[in-house]
Amino acid sequence: MPVPESKENRVATVLIGADICPIGGNLPYFKAGDARSLLNNLLPEFGAADLTIANLECPLIERSTPILKTGPVFGEPSACINGLKQAAIDVLTLANNHIMDHGATGLKNTLDVCASVGIETVGAGENLKAARRILVKKLGNLRIGLLAVAEHEFSIATEDSWGANPLDLIDYVRNLNGQRNNFDYLVVLLHGADEFHVPTPRIRDTCHFMIEMGANAVIVQHPHCLGGYEQYQDGHIVYGQGALIMDEGIYRNLKSFHEGFLVKLSISDDTTSKMEIVPFVQSHPLPGARRMEKEKEQQFRRQLEEKSHAVKDDAFVEAQWLRFCEERKHDYVSSLLGHNRILSKLNAGGLVEKLLHGKKALLGTKNIVCCETHREAIETIFNHHLI
């Protein structure tokens, strides 16, 4: 443990890693509890911190009970907790788009397995009340609050069902107002934004608002890419750390998927703080994560600084988002209109939209999506299985 400079000016260190999914070549090391092979020369960073946090991107399961959803379904053996425990991780965030991949059974088992080895969890539970709980960790005289939220996909809790804490800014403000006296410094872990593109204008505005309403740090996880960071008012915002340990086959040849950084917050008793980053490479070409070599780290830091400078510019963020949407516009519209694989392929250039739907029909679709009440109705219809 770090030695404080003085009793009057104690500094607590909080280390935050992003997505961990014990799949692919990393799986046997998690099961065996081989933290040295999983974290290599990053392991001392985990051991030296007063509090270590990471996101568990899958449920830990005893048997397969997959839900019906789009996208990959993850679920790994309960024995993977061995590697997480030996890695000196204190808290796992569970608010993400995969934590309900094996339903309530998978989430309950995950909570039980974590508790059995003394790893605390935040961001998911048996209902919305449990999922939205702010976990408070006392470090000396300092009370660190941890709140985890996830965008609405297939994992969200309700008042009477298991799941993750949803990203809801109205609830966020009410939650903070109700628990503000319980913590001195608040870290929000936000699982959202589009994969391989951060920040979107909405995510950037959301992070700003969270700081304005009382968060001291907002860390965006899930995008699996270099997101940049900024100091906003008196708070820290990170727009994407990259995955911590995740050997996902479809991304093995994507360089950016294998690069990331730890966030290290040094927080004084007066709640002032500074942020450092620890760059690493993960799951390529070797299993596990390890610090970048010096020359590569210098290049990575330069790129990160350039991105961090750029994301402060509203026009840049908007232009990059419009470019992203332009490149994927027909894919999104095909998904929205329920095209099957053949129609989606035919619509790569917008042909199906033009021939089968037309401008007026697409305007009706736009109205359903963009009007708040219409969108609320559609969400209610799907969430309550009315069709």
Q: What is the pLDDT of residue 3?
A: 45
Asked if 173 and 248 sit in the same domain, the reply is yes
The answer to whether residue 298 is domain-embedded is yes
CA dihedral 92, 97, 100, 101 (to 10 degrees): -120
Asked if 352 and 275 sit in the same domain, the reply is no
What is the Cβ-side half-sphere exposure of residue 375, based on CA atoms within 13 angstroms? 7
Asked if 351 and 284 sit in the same domain, the reply is no
DSSP for residue 165: P
Helix, strand, coil tally for the chain in percent (to 5): 45, 25, 30
- The Cα 226–Cα 303 span in angstroms is 9
Domain of 245: which CATH number?
3.60.21.10
Residue 99 phi, psi dihedral angles, 5° rounding: -65, -20
- The Cα 4–Cα 186 span in angstroms is 21
Q: What is the pLDDT of residue 137?
A: 98
Q: Which of 55, 38, 58, 160 is CA-nearest to residue 109?
A: 58
The 10 Å CB-count burial string (b at 16+, else e) for 81-109 is bbbbbbbbbbbbbbbbbbbbbbbbbbbeb
- Using one digit for the tens of pLDDT, what is the confidence trace for 27-42? 999 999 999 999 999 9
Report strand pairing: 124-125 vs 76-77.
unpaired
Asked if 199 and 84 sit in the same domain, the reply is yes
Residue tagged 């996101």 (tokens): 55
The answer to whether residue 16 is domain-embedded is yes
Burial label, 236 (beta-carbon count in 10 A; 0-12, 13-18, 19+): buried
The answer to whether residue 304 is domain-embedded is yes
Asked if 376 and 281 sit in the same domain, the reply is no
Asked if 339 and 237 sit in the same domain, the reply is no
Residues of the chain short of pLDDT 50, as ranges, are 1, 3
The answer to whether residue 323 is domain-embedded is no
Asked if 346 and 303 sit in the same domain, the reply is no
Three-state DSSP at 94 gives coil
Asked if 107 and 225 sit in the same domain, the reply is yes
Helix (H) or strand (E) holding 246: strand 245-246
Q: What is the pLDDT of residue 58?
A: 98
The answer to whether residue 317 is domain-embedded is no
Q: What domain range is 335 assigned to?
A: 328-383
Q: How far is CA 371 from CA 135, 340, 365, 384, in A?
A: 36, 26, 10, 20
Question: Which of 257, 288, 312 represents a domain boundary (last residue)?
Answer: 312
Asked if 150 and 286 sit in the same domain, the reply is yes
Three-state DSSP at 318 gives helix
The answer to whether residue 321 is domain-embedded is no
Residue tagged 């294998």 (tokens): 258
Q: Which of 2, 11, 87 is CA-nearest to residue 53?
A: 87
Q: Which of 53, 335, 84 is CA-nearest to residue 189?
A: 53
Find the largest Cα–Cα distance for the chain: 73
Asked if 278 and 351 sit in the same domain, the reply is no
Sheet hosting strand 235-238, strand order edge to edge: 135-139, 142-150, 185-191, 217-221, 235-238, 229-232
The answer to whether residue 92 is domain-embedded is yes
Three-state DSSP at 125 gives strand
Asked if 301 and 343 sit in the same domain, the reply is no
Name the token pair of 18. Answer: 């992003």
The answer to whether residue 51 is domain-embedded is yes
Query: 0.85 exceeded by the pTM?
Result: yes
CA dihedral 302, 306, 307, 309 (to 10 degrees): 130
Q: What is the pLDDT of residue 2?
A: 52
| Total domains, the chain | 2
Asked if 84 and 137 sit in the same domain, the reply is yes
Question: Which of 312, 341, 375 represents a domain boundary (last residue)?
Answer: 312
